[in-house]
Amino acid sequence: MRVGFIGLGSQGAPMARRIVDAGYEVTLWARRPASLEPFAGTAAKVAGSPAEVAAASDLVCVCVVSDADVEEVTYGENGVLARLREDGVLAVHSTVHPDTCRRLAERAGARGVAVVDAPVSGGGPAAAEGTLLVMAGGDEAVVERCRPVFETYGDPVVHLGGLGAGQLTKLLNNLLFTANLATASSTLALGRALGVDPRRLGEVVAHGTANSFALGRISAAGGTLDRIAAHAGALLRKDVGLVAELASADGAAPGIVLDAADATLAAMNHPR
């Protein structure tokens, strides 16, 4: 399988590098030439546009930031869909609205192209180690075709159901993570008020039943949300907002998890 990759950021770049190192024929495109510099001297080829990536690929992986970015690199005469061959696959690793993937699948289907939504969790370090969590939605046979590529950077790779199921799962994961940040940070703050050093408290709780990934991130950041807010606040606000929108549209009550997530966003000065 020939693989194209678009979106060489802090997470996408190590994902693409894992595919290259696994021996696949890989074609890359990036908005910024600097993003391509780490691939100099590798077997990866560089294309002049997303359409050129598609022309050289059987599977194109997209790992850009937003819904608008996904649409920008897939639609139009220079977009992926303009030249991805019939029976090709487009995998959306970005975290976006499920409807964005469904609209994309509609247009792709008219060209005989399949779409898989496959958002990931774990960040750049996990991508480099090949241990990203890949949450895939779409036709099972198509996901299985892509699995060997996904497994170069993902472990586990989980098929969750029809198109959009991966995005929904990732958004719910991020909602709970955001909520956990509020409960963890407020617990450390209460400990400080009661005379318990927050670093020591975090170290102890990390070995107890109340441990969480969120607690570990806050403890590593000195017991505050400041560092997380700086690099992830806007993205978490986007994802929590998407979940709230989806719940409202379906008439589903999100419950206290949304209240806790909103408390985190407010504390980070990123209210939705």
Tens digits of residue pLDDT in 180-214: 999 999 999 999 999 999 999 999 999 999 999 99
Closest C-alpha to 112, from 89, 144, 93, 138? 89
- The DSSP H or E segment spanning 172 is helix 165-193
What pLDDT does residue 260 have? 97
Q: At 155, is the secondary structure helix, strand, or coil?
A: strand
- pLDDT (tens digit, 9 = 90+) per residue, 115-155? 999 999 999 999 999 999 999 999 999 999 999 999 999 99
Quick one: pLDDT at residue 259?
A: 97
**Which parts of the chain register pLDDT below 50?**
none
Let me know: does 174 contact 240? Beta carbons within 8 Å.
yes
| CA atoms of 184 and 51, how far apart (whole Å) | 45
At position 112, the amino acid (one-letter code) is G
Q: What integer pLDDT is reported at residue 240 of this predicted model?
A: 97
Give the tokens for residue 254: 């999100």
pLDDT score of 85: 97
Report the catalytic residues: 170
pLDDT at 112: 98
DSSP run (H or E) holding 130: none
**pLDDT for res 83:** 97
Please tell me whether the overall predicted TM-score, pTM, comes out greater than 0.85 for this model. Answer: yes
> 99 and 127 in contact (C-beta within 8 Å)?
no
Q: What tokens does 256 get?
A: 């206290």
Report the helix count and the strand count for the chain, using DSSP H and E: 11, 9
User: Is the sign of the CA dihedral 200, 203, 208, 209 positive or negative?
Assistant: positive
pLDDT in the model for residue 33: 92
